[in-house]
Amino acid sequence: MTKFQTQPGFVVQAFRFALDPNASQEHALRSHCGAARVAYNWAVGWVTASWWQRRAEETYGIPQKELTEWRSWSLPSLRKAFNEAKHTDPRFTAWWEENSKEAYNTGLANAAAAFDNYAKSKRGQRKGKRAGMPRFKSKRKTRLACRFTTGTIRVDADGRHVTLPRLGTIRTHEPTGSLRTRVHAGTARVLSATVRHERGRWLASFQVEVRRDIVRVARPDVVVGIDLGVKTLAVLADSTGEIRTIPNPRHYDRSLKLLGRTSRTVSRRQGPDRRTGRKPSKRWVKANAARNKVHHRVGNLRTDALHKFTTAVAAEYGTIVVEDLHVAGMLRNRRLARHIADAGFGEINRQLNYKTGQRHATRMIVADRWYPSSKTCSGCGAVKAKLPLHVRTYECDACGLVIDRDDNAALNLAALAATAVTGTGVAGDQDTAPAVPKPRGADRKTRTTRTRRKAEAGRAGGATLPHQRQTETRDRTQAEALTLW
């Protein structure tokens, strides 16, 4: 993605509108998105071809200096090579002129980014899950998307149409006055536009540089702690002692009965079979569209509810304290994965992050992932060694405080904002008392399991377990390879 130099007082914001294309325009949209996929696959094949060629030549005993040169995956190199190939390669000569050059540039830019992510992940310079080598995109599974950075990109004066390169003027489902007014007033500048097919409809997202003044929040001196959960979506406890509970809408759970009915209807129709090449019947296509419509509605309801919640919180409090949740790890629990995904924990933190930084003068504090907010007493600061999930009421053994588990965690998170001043993170002693020493059980150590005890006993007796022998062999092999390298 191209990086723009944002002016002081301006932020980059997205304005998204649902499109209402006619039959010919939808065909052109699908053609542009398909061209982006074809360009991406061509770039992946063109770059990796040199890799496989070098590997084959090494097996023939060809010297290192005489091997095939590496092909660069930078965007300028891919553009130059593609412009040469599109005139001679029979896969492109017949149809490449039908689409805008921005469609092919989208695929090439995505391929260059994918190779960069792979190289950085290989060198350990990229955070998150390890990125693998780029693979070809399937025509059946790939999400349709195309990005335009040059050409005629505008919101029309009537407020109900947008104009894009080669696609022309397309009507929108909703008014575009929110963007058109800013552009005409000179407080916004359109940088790029992206069209994509998502949740059964075509969407146009405009990346806009907008002048945005920081809006003062309603309660700038109040600190709020947010504890996310499944039983209730969030518990908000502020520094004034007020505790609010946000119920969990459970949009997906409410639609399970309807989804089951539509899924049974789909299963009774003649669907596609890739092994035999059987085409789906018209009744199957109609039933599958009805089932997808239910899924799309659930996603839209969830997105709307989360945006309303995060916008209200960011506009009210001066300081917001949230937890650094390991959502990917939580989703591995097969009993809670569906409920956690339906609540959208990661999306809440993401929205709060940019809404507090760009729209309001709000400070956002992210508690450490290992901070025991649920185990710590909000009255005296004592920490329990264990607190299972089924225990929903916190009972302090030191001071006798009895409080709801989620309310206690939210109060501790709100008190965490005072750590820089008082040196404590306990709700009951924000101003005066020192921190209470924490007993065993509130650290980051992994709990001792049966397998761990066996391993420790084996090491004490001098025995070596099978998985230890495999680890030692792998480490020795890696050490030898590094020495040879």
Give me the catalytic one of 227, 238, 407, 429: 227
Measure CA of the first residue to CA of the last residue in the chain; give whole Å: 36
Crossing angle between the packed helical segments 282-314 and 256-267, to the nearest 10 degrees: 160
Q: Which token pair is 447?
A: 């709990």
Distance CA 43, CA 112 (A): 8
CA dihedral 17, 18, 24, 29 (to 10 degrees): 70
- Residue 223 has phi, psi (to 5 degrees) of -105, 135
Give me the catalytic one of 102, 209, 238, 323: 323
Lookup result for tokens 């309807």: 258
Distance CA 151, CA 103 (A): 12
Distance CA 260, CA 264 (A): 6
Q: Are 42 and 71 in contact (CB under 8 A)?
A: no
Task: Say whether 386 sits in a helix, a strand or coil.
Answer: coil
Q: Which token pair is 368?
A: 């450490």
Whether 66 sits among the annotated catalytic residues: the reply is: no
Distance CA 191, CA 208 (A): 5
Give me the catalytic one of 102, 238, 406, 429: 406
Distance CA 9, CA 78 (A): 36
Lookup result for tokens 């009255």: 379
Q: Which token pair is 189?
A: 């500048």
Does an H or E element contain 77, and which?
A: helix 75-88
Crossing angle between the packed helical segments 23-59 and 75-88, to the nearest 10 degrees: 100
If we measure between CA atoms, which residue out of 417, 427, 420, 215 comes closest to residue 314?
215
Whether 316 sits among the annotated catalytic residues: the reply is: no
Whether 407 sits among the annotated catalytic residues: the reply is: no
If we measure between CA atoms, which residue out of 149, 206, 217 comes closest to residue 183?
206
Q: Are 168 and 204 in contact (CB under 8 A)?
A: no
Write the Ramachandran bin of 197: left for phi over 0, alpha for psi from -120 to 50, otherwise beta: beta
Which residues are known to be catalytic? Answer: 227, 323, 406
